[in-house]
Amino acid sequence: MPNFTLFIVSDSVGETAGLVTKAAASQFRHDLESVSIKRFSYIEENSQLEEIVFLAKQQQALIVFTLVKESMRDHLRILCEELDVKSVDLLGPLIDEIGNQLGLEPFEEPGLVRQLDAHYFKKIEAIEFAVKYDDGRDMRGVLEADIVLLGVSRTSKTPLSQFLANKGYKVANVPLVPEVDPPAEIFSIDPTKCFGLYISVNQLNSIRKARLETLGLKDDANYAKIARIQQEIDYFNEITTKVGCEVIDVTNRAVEETANTILKTFTARKAN
């Protein structure tokens, strides 16, 4: 697939246009390595549009835009026609049709969806929560969390916490180390909101060796030795059994796959 450049132009953050564009581009290449996506957010002036279209002409980019003001959409279309730049209006046609159906004029105020979407604010709060209570920094998070993750080092606790946080769930994760007593809080919470992350000894050995090499250290450190890893896994099994939580095997599983398994179980339990 040849290299291809996409410009995302928005009078707000541009998150919606970015997601839709990536979804479309992924139908042609899963890794998107050959697709360059550049975002231009909070565009409010025609002069900004003129600069963007000129740059798109130079780079032979496709412009994908979400602009709520009709005057700016029209100006951008005219600029693209004059410079022979391809563009796609994601928002305009939908705004026009909804307006026709309702018999109303749009507000044309950028960012209104942020004000109306409570889920957005819930997601931001959850992301901040995941950062604050990452890696057992503060055990109060265990009591306040929607989901608690338990696991030894390098079982993707942090990226999994962030992924779930982006879904709006408050997540705290706790590292389990044989030499350190587990926090008392994990034994007092509802075990149904707690998930243990198990990984095979051999895969964890490979992951830890790679981590040491990345840090410029020798891969024969105790941290990556099979005997040490087995000791940690045994301790993990002991603690998760005592907690009574569900254990998920994350060996050779992507973060997204593990997250979906957790959410499926978590939502099913809440429904009962």
| 114 annotated ligand-binding residue | no
Verify that 136 and 98 share a domain, yes or no: no
pLDDT value of position 63: 96
Domain shared by 126 and 214, yes or no: yes
Q: What would the pLDDT profile of 43-81 be if each residue is shown by its tens digit?
A: 999 999 999 999 999 999 999 999 999 999 999 999 999
Is 218 flagged in the annotation as binding?
A: no
Question: Same domain, yes or no, for 18 and 74?
Answer: yes
Question: Which of the two residues, 247 and 37, has the higher pLDDT score?
Answer: 247
Asked if residue 147 and residue 161 are part of one domain, the reply reads yes
> How many structural domains are present in the chain?
2
Last residue of a domain, one of 67, 92, 116: 116
Find where tokens 């830890």 sit: 208
Q: Does 153 count as an annotated binding residue?
A: yes
- CA pair distance 131, 161, nearest whole angstrom: 9
Domain membership of residue 108 as a residue range = 4-116
Q: Do residues 158 and 108 both lie within one domain?
A: no
Q: Are residues 101 and 161 in the same domain?
A: no
**Would you say 154 is a known binding-site residue?**
yes
Do 68 and 154 lie in one domain? The reply is: no
Question: Does 39 share its domain with 166?
Answer: no
pTM (predicted TM-score):
0.60
- 243 labeled part of a ligand binding site: no
76-133: per-residue pLDDT in tens? 999 999 999 999 999 999 999 999 999 988 888 887 766 666 777 888 899 999 999 9
Quick one: 26 and 107 in the same domain?
yes
151 is in an annotated binding site: yes
Give the number of other Cβ atoms within 10 Å of residue 112's Cβ: 13
Residue 155 marked ligand-binding: yes
Both 164 and 248 in one domain: the answer is yes
Query: Looking at residue 95, which CATH number applies to its domain?
Result: 3.40.50
pLDDT of res. 183: 92
pLDDT of 32 higher than 80: no
pLDDT for the residue numbered 114: 64
Average pLDDT rounded to a whole number, residues 249-266: 94
Whether residues 88 and 139 fall in one domain? no
- What local confidence, expressed as pLDDT, does residue 33 receive? 66
- Among 116, 138, 163, identify where a domain stops: 116
Is the distance from CB of 180 to CB of 169 less than 8 angstroms?
no
Helical H segments across 36-178, by residue range? 46-59, 70-83, 92-102, 112-116, 118-132, 140-144, 157-165
Task: Give pLDDT, residue 84.
Answer: 96
Of 115, 120, 117, nearest to 167 (Cα)? 120
Do 128 and 214 fall within a single domain?
yes
pLDDT at 31: 60
184-223 residue pLDDT tens: 999 999 999 999 999 999 999 999 999 898 888 887 889 9
